[in-house]
Amino acid sequence: MKILVLLMSLAAFLLVTLPGPLYRSGLVELGAAFAGFKYAVITGVAALILLIVQMLFKRQTVTFTSAAVAIVFSLIAILIPLRMMITANSVPAIHDISTDIMTPPEFVAIAPLRADAPNPTTYAGLETAKKQREAYPELQTLQYSQPKSELVAAVEQAANNLGWQLVNTNASAGVIEATDSTMWFGFKDDIVVRVLDQGGERLVDIRSKSRMGKSDLGKNAERISLFIEELDQVLGE
């Protein structure tokens, strides 16, 4: 039974850790990858139940190492999908986040790259704006006193520091476009930053939009917040 418990816990672990790399490499479809999470939880729970049965009725076959490995693998298989589920229930099911929800920055150079993406480049609309404002009220248009050229350079530097792939920089228009990929599944999200003159101040707006999926699990809002922190560091604020 010890071997069975170990094999089941390992299978559960693989079912939750391999879908991302397999999907990213094109070996499995997204539906199959997500199905792996469900089976990971089922297999992980089954492994823990078998381990309990083993400890109750075949205690002599249990070793500390085998039990520890089975518990760790099974808990990872169970907790990762549960954490994703909790996150999905705690954030709105939106995938287009902008600091300016009335006139969000527009994708230009990136638009052709999204030609086959399920989510269009157009802003998701007023309902999305309302949900965003309720969930992320802190995401607002930024104001800086630095010259426009300095801000554009700082935006580029911040994007590079975060590992984004720069697609377009139009210094005169104050527009910077970039693409970021999620680490696990390699989902591509696109970002556009707009720098506008307004009297003696510069207004900076950031928009981050997923190419696919109804909900981004809060990733786009998190990305914008990280960018704002990085930009302030680059500017020394």
pTM for the model: 0.86
114: DSSP letter: G
Structural domain for 179, as ranges: 96-235
Contact 189, 182 (CB under 8 A): yes
**Angle between helical axes of 2-17 and 30-57 (0-180°, round to 10):** 160
Q: What is the CATH number of the domain that holds 180?
A: 3.30.310.80
| Domain-terminating residue out of 56, 90, 124 | 90
171 near 112, Cβ under 8 Å?
A: no
- For residues 227 and 157, give the distance between their C-alpha atoms in angstroms, rounded to a whole number: 11
Nearest 5°: the CA angle 156, 158, 160 is 70
Q: Which of 61, 90, 119 is the last residue of a domain?
A: 90
112 and 46 in one domain?
Answer: no
Contact present, 159 and 176 (Cβ < 8 Å): yes
Residue pLDDT tens, the chain, 237 long: 788 999 999 999 999 999 999 998 889 998 999 899 999 999 999 999 999 999 888 888 888 889 999 999 999 999 999 999 999 999 999 999 999 999 999 999 999 999 999 999 999 889 999 999 999 999 999 999 999 999 999 999 999 999 999 999 999 999 999 999 988 898 999 999 999 998 889 999 999 999 999 999 999 999 999 999 999 999 986
Residues 10 and 121 occupy one common structural domain: no
CA dihedral 147→152→156→158, nearest 10 degrees, is 50
Least Cα distance to 189 among 105, 90, 85, 95 occurs for 95
Helices (H), the chain: 2-17, 19-24, 30-57, 64-90, 126-135, 148-161, 219-235
Q: Do 216 and 106 share a structural domain?
A: yes
